[in-house]
Chain A
C-alpha cells in the first residue's frame, strides 16, 4: 500500500466531543483518530448511538449548542477546522467538504426544483451565473447516470423516485470537486436494487474523481464491499481500524468479532427442522387482493370511474404447521399489506382458510382466530403503548383469550417475561425504560401469550442493531422449536431470511412473484426479479461468492 505515504486530506487527531445534558456530560466521542488520504474510502461502522453521525457533524462544523469539544483537532489539508471563523467554514462547506445524507426525501427541499438546488451550490462556490450553473448542473446529472438530465433539472423533488433523488444529492456533493465527501448511510432509506445501483455509482465516481470519502454505515456487509479501510466505532471510541480484509478475516477486538458474527450469512442455516409437507396446510391464502382508498362521495354520485390503489393483487400462498415462510420484497411491494389483511387490519377480497375454517372478511375473524394468529410489528416503540406498564401490556392477551393453567395473573406475566429471557421485575416498567431489543422481546412475549399457531413477524428485526437482531432471531427460533409455531417472516433482508426460512415468497408491486424453497432461491432458474434481488444483496465479507 503506497497510498499511506500520501498526506491525508482529512485528519482527525485524538478528537473528543461531549454533550452537556441534564444528567451530566455525555461522552459522544472519545480520542478518535482517523486519517483519510486522497482517493481513499474509509468505512466507519458502528451501531446506533455509537457516535458515527456526531463525528460527521463535527467534521462539517455543525454541532448543537450543548456540544463541547474537549480535545483534539480535525484538520482538512493541514488546517485546523476548529480555528476557522463561521464565514470561512461557510466557504469550506459544499466546496471542500460535502455530505450525502441518509434520506434523500428529507435532504432535498420539497419546495424548490431540483435544478435550483443543484445550481445554487455552483453559483455560490464557483461564482457561475445562473445560466452557466444550470448548464453545468445538467452535465452533473448526466454524470450521475440520470437519463433525462434536462427534464430532471426542472422537476420538483416529489416528482422523482428515491433513487433519482439520491443521485441528485450525490451530484450536488460532487458538484464543486470537493476534497472530501462524507456519506452518512446513503443507501439505508433505499430499496435493495436501487441501493446497489447507487453504490456502484458511488464507487465509479469515487474512482474517477479521487475524492477522499468517509463512508458511514451500520451495515458491515455493505462497507466491506465499498471501503478499503474500515474503522469500527463503539460508544464513541474507535475500537479497531485497518484494511477491510484484515478486519474481516482476523478481527483483533472482541466487539468487532461479535459484530461480524452477528451479520446474517446465507451460507449458514439456523433451522434444521423440516415441516411436514404432506400435512394439511395451516393457512391457505387464496387470491387475496387488497385495495386502498374509498370511492369519493362525488365520484359515486356522478358515476365517475375511480381508480383504487392496489395493495395486493390476487396473492395465493399456504403455510404448513410449524413452517417458517419468509416473505421478501422491496418497500411498497405489499408484504405488510398482506400481513394486515390476515390480521383483519385491512379489508380484503378473496379467501383465507385457517385450520379448515374459511374466512372471507374481518367479521369472520372470531376470538379463536385472533388467538391463533398473532402479529409482531416492526417498531417496538410504536407497537407498545407508551402509557401502559409492561405488566398491563402482557395482561391483555391473557384477559382476552384466557391464559391456560393455574396461577395468578402476575405469575403468568412473570412466566411470559421469563420465556423471552427478561427479568420478572420488568413487569412494573414502562416501555421507554427498556432498550430496543428488550421492547421487541416484550412484543414477542405478548404475541406468544395466547399460544398461537401462526405468528406474523412484520420486519421485526429491521429497526434493531445487528447484534440485537441476532439475539432476537435466536429467541424466535427457540420459541418455534418449543411451541412448533408457524411463522410468516416478512423482511427485506434476504441474507437473514435465507438463514431461517423453509420457503421464501418473493413479492413485487403487490404481486407474488414466486415461492421457492430456501435452498433453491439462488438457483439460476428462478424468476428474473428474484435473481436481480439476489444479485443486489451484498454478501457479508469473509464469505466467498460461492455461497451465491
Chain B
C-alpha cells in the first residue's frame, strides 16, 4: 500500500491530483465549521461586494458570502458526484463482467441494449430521467448513475473479455464453481484497476453534469448552495459583479481537474509496467 502511494505521488499528475482531491475532501468534511458567515443570511446593504477581509471572495446578489457558500456547497456538489459515479460504476461493472462471462448470444443481447442506451447523449438522458421522476437532488443522482452505467459496462466488458480467456477462469469453471463466484470473486478483482481509473475521471464529469442539471433548474433547488446552482443564479447579475459567477465556476473546474489528474496518476500507478 505504501509502495503504491509512492508510485502515485512520483508522477506530477498523481501528486497534483492527490493534493487537489485531498483539499476538496478536506473542504467537504470541515467546510461547514470553518465557514466565516451564515451562507443563507441576506444582507441587502452588502450586495455585489468585491474581495475584502470580511468577505474573502466577495458577496452575491443577496449579499451572501460567496466563500462560505462554496465551503458549504462542496458537500452537496462533490459527495453527490461521487455517489452517483459509484452507483453507476458498480452497476456498469457488474453488467459488463457478467456479459463477458456469459459470452455468445447473451453477450450480444446485453451489449446491443447498452449500445442503444449509449446512443442517447448522457445529458439528455439525465434530463429525461429527472423529468420523468421529478426534479430533486436524489433523482438527479439516479439520473447521473443511469447515464454512466452503460459506458462503465462497455469499458469493464472489454477488460473482462481478456480476463475471461485466462486459465484461472477455465480452472474455476472446470472445478465446477458457480457463475456468481466466477464473476464476483475471480473476474471482478482482476478488472478493478481500469475501473477505478475510469471512475475517478468520471467523478469530474459527474460534477459537471450535476452542475449542468442544477444550472437548468433540474437538480438542487434554491436557496441550496450547490455550485452549479450558484452559477445559474449568478448569470443574470454577472455584469454587476463578475466574482459571483467566476468563483463557483473555478471551484467546479478545480474539482474536475483534480479528479482527472488523480485518474491519470492512478492509471500509471496501477499499471507499473505500462
Contact at B168–A345, with CB atoms within 8 Å?
A: no
Contact at B174–A382, with CB atoms within 8 Å?
A: no
Whole-angstrom CA separation of A340 from B169 in the bound complex: 13
A-B contact pairs, 5 of them (CB 8 A): A365-B176, A377-B170, A382-B168, A385-B186, A387-B189
Q: Is A397's CB within 8 Å of the partner chain B?
A: yes
Q: Is A75's CB within 8 Å of the partner chain B?
A: no
3 closest A-B pairs by beta carbon, nearest first, are A387-B189, A383-B167, A370-B176
User: A400 to chain B: which residues have CB within 8 Å?
Assistant: 175-177
Contact at A345–B173, with CB atoms within 8 Å?
A: yes
User: B176 to chain A: which residues have CB within 8 Å?
Assistant: 365, 367, 370, 400
Chain B residue nearest in CB terms to A380 = B167
Contact at B171–A377, with CB atoms within 8 Å?
A: yes
Q: Which of B120-147 contact A (CB under 8 A)?
A: none
Q: Is A344's CB within 8 Å of the partner chain B?
A: yes
Contact at B175–A382, with CB atoms within 8 Å?
A: no
Q: Is B158's CB within 8 Å of the partner chain A?
A: no
Whole-angstrom CA separation of A409 from B171 in the bound complex: 21
Q: Is B113's CB within 8 Å of the partner chain A?
A: no
User: B190 to chain A: which residues have CB within 8 Å?
Assistant: 385-387
Q: Is A294's CB within 8 Å of the partner chain B?
A: yes
Chain A 322-351 per-residue mask, 1 if CB under 8 angstroms from chain B, else 0: 000000000000000000100111000000
Q: Is A379's CB within 8 Å of the partner chain B?
A: yes
Task: Kindly identify which residue among A343, A365, A367, A383 contacts B168, using a CB–CB cutoff of 8 Å.
Answer: A383
Q: A266 to nearest B CB, angstroms?
A: 29
Q: Is A390's CB within 8 Å of the partner chain B?
A: no
Contact at A370–B186, with CB atoms within 8 Å?
A: no
Task: Kindly identify which residue among B104, B166, B167, B175 contacts A396, using a CB–CB cutoff of 8 Å.
Answer: B175
Chain A residue nearest in CB terms to B108 = A297
Whole-angstrom CA separation of A486 from B104 in the bound complex: 34
Which residue numbers of A lie inside 8 Å of B, CB to CB? Answer: 294, 340, 343-345, 365, 367, 370, 374-375, 377-379, 382-388, 396-397, 400, 446
Q: B191 to nearest A CB, angstroms?
A: 10
Q: A294-B104, A385-B190 given as contacts; is B167 within 8 A of A378 (CB)?
A: yes
Q: B273 to nearest A CB, angstroms?
A: 12
Q: Which of B185-228 contact A (CB under 8 A)?
A: 185-186, 189-190
Whole-angstrom CA separation of A80 from B174 in the bound complex: 57
Q: A326 to nearest B CB, angstroms?
A: 21
Chain B residue nearest in CB terms to A396 = B175
Q: Which of B167, B170, B173, B189 has the most CB of A within 10 A?
A: B167
Chain B residue nearest in CB terms to A340 = B170
Contact at A375–B168, with CB atoms within 8 Å?
A: no
Contact at B175–A397, with CB atoms within 8 Å?
A: yes
Contact at B174–A344, with CB atoms within 8 Å?
A: yes
Q: A385-B189, A385-B190 given as contacts; is B173 within 8 A of A375 (CB)?
A: no
Q: A529 to nearest B CB, angstroms?
A: 29
Whole-angstrom CA separation of A374 from B172 in the bound complex: 11
Whole-angstrom CA separation of A392 from B17 in the bound complex: 35
Task: Kindly identify which residue among B104, B171, B177, B185 contacts A383, using a CB–CB cutoff of 8 Å.
Answer: B171
Task: Kindly identify which residue among A367, A379, A388 contacts B167, using a CB–CB cutoff of 8 Å.
Answer: A379
> Which label, helix, strand, loop or mixed, suits the secondary structure of the B interface?
helix
Chain B residue nearest in CB terms to A345 = B170
Whole-angstrom CA separation of A541 from B151 in the bound complex: 59
Q: B180 to nearest A CB, angstroms?
A: 14
Q: A294-B104, A385-B190, A387-B189 given as contacts; is B174 within 8 A of A370 (CB)?
A: yes
Give the interface size class of chain B: 10 to 19
Whole-angstrom CA separation of A282 from B242 in the bound complex: 85
User: A384 to chain B: which residues have CB within 8 Å?
Assistant: 168
Contact at A382–B167, with CB atoms within 8 Å?
A: yes
User: B167 to chain A: which residues have CB within 8 Å?
Assistant: 377-379, 382-383
Whole-angstrom CA separation of A378 from B104 in the bound complex: 26
Q: A375-B174, A378-B167 are in contact. List 13 more A-B contacts (CB 8 A).
A: A340-B170, A344-B173, A367-B176, A370-B175, A377-B170, A382-B166, A382-B168, A383-B170, A385-B189, A386-B190, A388-B185, A397-B175, A400-B177
User: A294 to chain B: which residues have CB within 8 Å?
Assistant: 104
Q: Which of B166, B186, B189 has the most CB of A within 10 A?
A: B166
Task: Kindly identify which residue among B174, B186, B189 contacts A343, using a CB–CB cutoff of 8 Å.
Answer: B174
Q: A141 to nearest B CB, angstroms?
A: 36
User: A386 to chain B: which residues have CB within 8 Å?
Assistant: 190
Whole-angstrom CA separation of A370 from B173 in the bound complex: 10
User: A397 to chain B: which residues have CB within 8 Å?
Assistant: 175
Q: Which of A378, A385, A397 has the most CB of B within 10 A?
A: A385
Whole-angstrom CA separation of A301 from B173 in the bound complex: 32
Q: B136 to nearest A CB, angstroms?
A: 39
Chain A residue nearest in CB terms to B104 = A294
User: A375 to chain B: which residues have CB within 8 Å?
Assistant: 170-171, 174
Whole-angstrom CA separation of A344 from B177 in the bound complex: 12
Whole-angstrom CA separation of A385 from B173 in the bound complex: 13
Chain B residue nearest in CB terms to A362 = B173
Whole-angstrom CA separation of A375 from B104 in the bound complex: 24
Chain A residue nearest in CB terms to B163 = A385
Q: A17 to nearest B CB, angstroms?
A: 21
User: A345 to chain B: which residues have CB within 8 Å?
Assistant: 170, 173-174
User: A382 to chain B: which residues have CB within 8 Å?
Assistant: 166-168
User: B166 to chain A: which residues have CB within 8 Å?
Assistant: 382-383
Whole-angstrom CA separation of A345 from B167 in the bound complex: 11
User: B170 to chain A: which residues have CB within 8 Å?
Assistant: 340, 343, 345, 375, 377, 383
Q: B162 to nearest A CB, angstroms?
A: 11
Q: B171 to nearest A CB, angstroms?
A: 5
Whole-angstrom CA separation of A375 from B190 in the bound complex: 22
Contact at B173–A396, with CB atoms within 8 Å?
A: no
Q: A453 to nearest B CB, angstroms?
A: 15
Whole-angstrom CA separation of A374 from B171 in the bound complex: 9
Chain A residue nearest in CB terms to B169 = A385
User: A340 to chain B: which residues have CB within 8 Å?
Assistant: 170
User: B186 to chain A: which residues have CB within 8 Å?
Assistant: 385
Whole-angstrom CA separation of A343 from B174 in the bound complex: 5
Chain B residue nearest in CB terms to A370 = B176
Q: A23 to nearest B CB, angstroms?
A: 11
Whole-angstrom CA separation of A388 from B166 in the bound complex: 14
Q: Which of B104, B168, B172, B186 has the most CB of A within 10 A?
A: B168
Q: Which of A344, A386, A387, A446 has the most CB of B within 10 A?
A: A387
User: B189 to chain A: which residues have CB within 8 Å?
Assistant: 385, 387-388
Q: A89 to nearest B CB, angstroms?
A: 28
User: A379 to chain B: which residues have CB within 8 Å?
Assistant: 167
Chain B residue nearest in CB terms to A339 = B174
